[in-house]
């Protein structure tokens, strides 16, 4: 008897359907919700990034020109729109602006200098630690740093001072992260009065590149490109191509393993009487091997940036914050695609997932629900099969016990009952067995007994043999020897003709 489990199956299928609707509803609801966190507008912040993972932003001036300790991150592994970047709020950090920082080669420690003090922010643990205060570190703002990935040494042009308080001559500061010591090298005389420049390490050249900047206490900007090698010192380069105009506070970041450098924005010579306007909206790509500048498309009049922060991830430039042409700060995020040489409103993450792309998410969710439904269906089929096998087994084990079995019991199928007859209930099988037993008994009851079987029979047709004895041509007779004999054999025995009796040795 097969058990009914259809209510069980219906309940499971209903649960799976409700689960699918719940997932789709929650995803749709999530897409319509505004971002949970929006950073305050800022400029002259400092930043660090890990290609394809995360961009970190710290400090800066707020919209009211007050110093901020704001710290947040932008997820670079996921895709997002510039109207809703993947921001994540972090615990406040150091309160400062226009200060120096660089990410160390282990991609775990963020090296930050503020007011002659060295700090380390450990990214995995999210904790700050103070390395120490160095009187020889310059307290001047507007300095930039680069790190050698091979030995972890940090280079800060004009970052070393010989006297406490920052007065006197300045030189190139070299900080060793291995033993936490500060050294200094000679600066070229053309740069000792320059601040607000942009510095990047060129791995293919095994040195750093310095672009632009402005002279201390003057509005004069520069467009020079310098190279520093720890082996040979400073050198003024002569690049070719579309050379960028003079500027300060631009972002300058490496791409494609340091074979290319990307320069975006910055502030040109101010137009009187404004001192904070003239933000540049152009972008340039420097080929390090040939020292050739190539200009890309401008971002537009409203996209000019100065004092902003940048990152390179998955062949895209990401820019955040800064000052616009109206000398006001904002928290806008811009994306430039290096592969297509175009500005775009969509950032493409390394994982390919997107918080704004609803269709792939829903499709994936439905696929998961279908998989769950198939598993549930398979489980129900397995349960039904096992239940059916158990029912058949119980019927076989419940057959009535018969003592003194007869040969008929082992031949359970009569000519009227083919071996592949349809399964019957226990009661029907018992009745059928009783009928077969009765047929068996009736068959043997109709047979003659042993005495009846051996009595001579009278036959209507008689014949005579050669000796004058009558016999039935189709039958044997019962002679004195209590044995079946033919008529001729009986004659030989009665006449004692044993010598020639052909039946003697039968």
DSSP category for residue 90: -
Beta strands in 177-259 (DSSP E): 181-185, 194-195, 198-202, 207-211, 214-215, 225-229, 233-236, 240-241, 251-255
284 and 214 within one domain: yes
Phi, psi values for residue 368, rounded to 5°: -65, -40
In which element (H, E) is residue 427 found? helix 426-445
Tell me: cis bond preceding 273? Omega within 30 of 0 counts.
yes
In a domain, 172, yes or no: yes
214 and 329 within one domain: yes
Q: Exposed, middle or buried, 181 (CB in 10 Å: 0-12/13-18/19+)?
A: exposed
412 and 388 within one domain: no
3-state secondary structure of 150: coil
| pTM of model > 0.85 | no
Among candidate residues 340, 328, 272, 271, the one with its CA nearest the CA of residue 304? 328
DSSP category for residue 249: S
412 and 316 within one domain: no
Total number of domains in the chain: 4
Token readout for 409 is 């019991």
386 and 441 within one domain: no
What pLDDT score does 392 carry?
Answer: 54
Among candidate residues 303, 329, 333, the one with its CA nearest the CA of residue 42? 329
CB contact at 8 A, 271 and 298 = no
324 and 424 within one domain: no
DSSP category for residue 301: G
316 and 169 within one domain: yes
In a domain, 198, yes or no: yes
DSSP category for residue 163: S
What pLDDT score does 302 carry?
Answer: 83
3-state secondary structure of 486: coil
Left if phi > 0, otherwise alpha if psi is -120 to 50, otherwise beta: which for 119?
beta
What pLDDT score does 380 carry?
Answer: 66
In a domain, 101, yes or no: yes
What pLDDT score does 224 carry?
Answer: 97
432 and 320 within one domain: no
473 and 392 within one domain: no
Alpha carbon dihedral 296, 299, 301, 307, in 10-degree steps, equals -100
pLDDT, tens digit only, all 506 positions of the chain: 444 545 555 565 556 556 655 655 555 444 444 558 999 999 999 999 999 999 999 999 998 889 999 999 999 999 999 999 999 999 999 999 999 999 999 999 999 999 999 999 999 999 999 999 998 999 889 999 999 999 999 999 999 998 765 556 899 999 999 999 999 999 999 999 999 999 999 999 999 999 999 999 888 899 999 999 999 999 999 999 999 999 999 999 999 999 999 999 999 987 654 555 789 999 999 999 999 999 999 998 788 999 999 999 999 999 999 998 887 888 999 999 999 999 999 999 988 665 444 444 444 555 555 565 566 566 666 667 666 666 555 555 554 544 454 444 444 444 444 555 555 677 777 787 888 777 766 655 665 555 555 555 554 445 545 455 554 544 444 444 444 455 555 544 555 554 444 444 44
352 and 363 within one domain: no
In a domain, 94, yes or no: yes
Phi, psi values for residue 237, rounded to 5°: -90, 160
Phi, psi values for residue 422, rounded to 5°: -70, 140
For residue 197, list its beta bridge partners.
none
Contacts made by residues 428-437, CB under 8 angstroms, sequence distance 24+: 429/399, 430/400, 433/400, 436/408, 437/406, 437/408
Token readout for 36 is 């949970």
Query: Which string of DSSP letters, residue by residue, matches 119-148?
Result: EEEETTTTEEEEEEE-TTB---SS---EE-
471 and 392 within one domain: no
CA–CA dist 456, 463 (Å, integer): 16
- The full 3-state SS of 1-30, as one line of letters, equals CCCCCHHHHHHHHHHHHHHHHHHHHHHHHH
In a domain, 67, yes or no: yes
In a domain, 506, yes or no: no
In a domain, 500, yes or no: no
DSSP category for residue 168: S
Token readout for 325 is 């042409």
In a domain, 478, yes or no: yes
Which CATH number covers residue 88? Answer: 2.120.10.80
CB contact at 8 A, 485 and 456 = no
What pLDDT score does 401 carry?
Answer: 47
- 3-state helix, strand, coil split of the chain in percent (to 5) is 20, 30, 45
Domain of 468 in residue numbering reads as 457-494
Among candidate residues 273, 323, 325, 332, the one with its CA nearest the CA of residue 63? 323
325 and 361 within one domain: no
CA–CA dist 360, 500 (Å, integer): 111
Q: How many residues does the chain have?
A: 506
């Amino acid at each position: 008897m097969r058990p009914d489990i259809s209510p069980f199956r219906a309940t499971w299928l209903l649960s799976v359907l409700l689960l699918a609707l719940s997932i789709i509803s929650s995803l749709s609801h999530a897409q319509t919700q505004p971002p949970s966190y929006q950073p305050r507008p800022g400029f002259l912040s400092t930043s660090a990034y890990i290609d394809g993972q995360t961009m970190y932003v710290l400090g800066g001036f707020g919209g009211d020109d007050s110093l901020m300790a704001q710290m947040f991150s932008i997820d670079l592994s996921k895709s997002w729109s510039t109207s809703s970047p993947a921001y994540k709020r972090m615990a406040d950090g150091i309160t400062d602006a226009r200060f120096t920082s660089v990410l160390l080669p282990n991609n775990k420690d963020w090296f930050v200098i503020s007011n002659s003090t060295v700090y380390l922010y450990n990214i995995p643990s999210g904790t700050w630690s103070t390395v120490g205060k160095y009187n020889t570190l310059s307290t001047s703002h507007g300095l930039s740093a680069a790190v050698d990935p091979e030995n972890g040494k940090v280079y800060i042009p004009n970052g070393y001072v010989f006297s406490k308080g920052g007065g006197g001559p300045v030189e190139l500061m070299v900080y060793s992260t291995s033993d936490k010591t500060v050294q200094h090298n000679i600066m070229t005389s053309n740069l000792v009065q320059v601040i607000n420049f942009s510095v990047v390490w060129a791995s293919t050249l095994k040195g750093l590149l310095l672009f632009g900047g402005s002279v201390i206490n003057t509005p004069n900007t520069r467009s020079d490109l310098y190279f520093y090698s720890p082996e040979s010192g400073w050198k003024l380069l002569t690049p070719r191509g579309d050379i960028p105009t003079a500027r300060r506070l631009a972002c300058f970041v490496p791409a494609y393993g340091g074979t290319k450098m990307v320069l975006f924005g910055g502030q040109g010579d101010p137009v009187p009487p404004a001192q904070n306007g003239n933000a540049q909206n152009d972008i340039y790509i420097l080929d390090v091997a040939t020292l050739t500048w190539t200009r890309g498309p401008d971002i537009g009049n409203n996209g000019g940036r100065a004092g902003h922060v940048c990152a390179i991830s998955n062949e895209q430039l990401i820019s955040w914050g800064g000052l616009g042409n109206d000398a006001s700060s904002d928290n806008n995020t811009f994306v430039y695609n290096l592969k297509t040489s175009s500005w775009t409103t969509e950032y493409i993450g390394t994982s390919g997932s997107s918080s704004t792309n609803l269709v792939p998410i829903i499709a994936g969710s439905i696929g998961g629900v279908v998989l769950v439904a198939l598993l549930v269906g398979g489980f129900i089929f397995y349960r039904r099969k096992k239940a059916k096998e158990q029912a058949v087994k119980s019927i076989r084990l419940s057959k009535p016990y018969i003592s003194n079995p007869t040969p008929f019991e082992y031949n359970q199928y009569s000519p009227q009952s083919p071996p592949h007859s349809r399964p019957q209930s226990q009661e029907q099988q018992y009745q059928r067995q009783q009928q077969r037993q009765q047929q068996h008994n009736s068959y043997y009851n109709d047979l003659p007994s042993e005495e009846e079987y051996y009595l001579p029979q009278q036959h209507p047709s008689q014949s005579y043999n050669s000796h004058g004895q009558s016999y039935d041509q189709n039958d044997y007779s019962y002679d004195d020897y209590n044995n079946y004999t033919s008529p001729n054999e009986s004659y030989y025995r009665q006449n004692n003709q044993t010598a020639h009796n052909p039946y003697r040795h039968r």
